Amino acid sequence: MSAQQSQLWIVDKGVDSRESYQQVERASLWIRQGEVVAFPTETVYGLGGDAFSSQAIEKIFAAKGRPSDNPLIVHIADEHQLTSLTNEVNDTARALIKAFWPGPLTLVLPNCGNVSPAVTAGLSTVAVRMPDHPVARAFLRACQTPVAAPSANRSGRPSPTTAQHVLDDLDGRIAGVVDGGPTGVGLESTVVDCSGAIPMILRPGGITAEAIRDVVGDVTFDPALSESSERPRSPGVKYTHYAPNARFVLVDGSPSFLQSYVNEARDEGLKVGVMTTEGNADQFDSDVVLTAGNRSDLQTVAREIYNTLRMFDEYEVDVIYGEVFAEQEIGQAVMNRLLKAAGGQKVIEPTE
């Protein structure tokens, strides 16, 4: 589709009114016709296409400008759809499904070969999740097919947590957007490979490693999380992601240490932004100071990261310095995204 302007379907989260149901039906029709449509989940907005249609998947990659060797997650409305995607769901996967579906958990399972090869990037596995968002569930049911969907943003940009973010990046490049309001979790799903003897986390996200251990015991982490050159086994573990237009640098240290970098950049004539948290903003003297959640509740930080990074674009800053967080619980996913947004750029205050 070469649209002049993408359509917008506004749907109440209750999805129980006649008007909302009709909007969902209209949007799902485009999926059944081989087009691509953005829709909300509890994590971020996804850009969906029929998982069995190579033509639809090619439109996803084209709209995003996404490299084709990066696999996509297949979204399903109910467990019955699993049988069309995989012929092997082991005890570990069953336990995780029971504990966390619907929810922000993606499972990597053996691929039975039905989905388009473009979905899996030629891998022998397929990534699947069942979102916990009423609009997403209604939309997926109406599509009548598993829907492959990466985040609905231009490749490399911060992921979208509102319909407006999607339109900012993709208006005119996709059939339309189902607007179900702001997302909840704010970070992409946790991805777990269940094909081995011990489950392996390929991407940290809304379900923490600690929560997974409580269900299945031992869990490992994919070395590719720290080795960007490895071929990705999961979405979101290769290439620059989540980046604002300005250079973004993480600063591990005191407020005065971060301020020293701000001062140096301003002396060079640069317009400088600081990404901090509620209660800390008055500690910084900078051209733009924006807060992303509360440090005492990292769930709030997770919800605000992408929106805050996009806000810096509106201020047209040249460089952004951001605080770091403890890599525990949801903080692990927060730092994973921030480090990718910064392209790995982090400075550490000397301890002497």
List pLDDT tens digits, range 265-315: 999 999 999 999 999 999 999 999 999 999 999 999 999 999 999 999 999
**Where is the binding site for ATP, in residues?**
66, 70, 125, 151, 159, 203, 242
- Mean pLDDT for the chain overall: 93
- Whole-angstrom distance, CA of residue 135 vs CA of residue 346: 38
Mean pLDDT of 37-59: 97
DSSP 101: -
Q: Annotated binding site for L-threonine: which residue ranges?
A: 43, 75, 129, 149, 189
pLDDT tens-digit map of 96-154: 999 999 999 999 999 999 999 999 999 999 999 999 999 999 999 999 999 999 999 99
Output DSSP code: residue 44. S
Closest C-alpha to 148, from 241, 228, 55, 24: 55
Torsions phi, psi of 266, nearest 5?
A: -70, -35
State residue 226's pLDDT score: 63
- What pLDDT does 75 receive? 98
Q: State whether the Cα torsion 58-63-66-72 is positive or negative.
A: negative
- Residue 240: pLDDT band (50, 70, 90) is low
CB count within 10 Å of CB 279 equals 11
> What Å distances lie between residue 248 and 270, 274, 303, 318, 344, CA to CA?
13, 10, 19, 9, 9
pLDDT at 235 over 60: no
Global pTM value: 0.92
Q: What's the token pair of residue 284? A: 């910084």
Instruction: Give the pLDDT band of residue 228 (cuts 50, 70, 90).
Output: very low
**Band (250; pLDDT cuts 50, 70, 90):** very high
Mean pLDDT throughout 71-96? 96
- Alpha carbon distance 108, 40 (integer Å): 22
105: β partners: 190
Which positions make up the binding site? 43, 66, 70, 75, 125, 129, 149, 151, 159, 189, 203, 242
Q: Which two tokens stand for residue 72?
A: 């996509």
What is the tens place of the pLDDT at every residue in 1-14? Answer: 445 799 999 998 77
Q: Are 175 and 30 in contact (CB under 8 A)?
A: yes
What element of type H or E holds 264?
helix 255-267
Residues above pLDDT 90, as percent of the chain = 86
| End-to-end alpha carbon distance in the chain | 60
Domains observed in the chain = 7-225 (3.90.870.10), 247-348 (3.40.50.11030)
What is the mean predicted confidence (pLDDT) over 158-181?
A: 97
**Exposure b/e, 310-342, CB count within 10 A at least 16 = b:** bbbbeeebbbbbbbbbeeeebbbbbbbbbbbbb
Q: Which residue has the higher pLDDT, 152 or 240?
A: 152
Q: pLDDT of 187-199, one tens digit each? A: 999 999 998 889 9
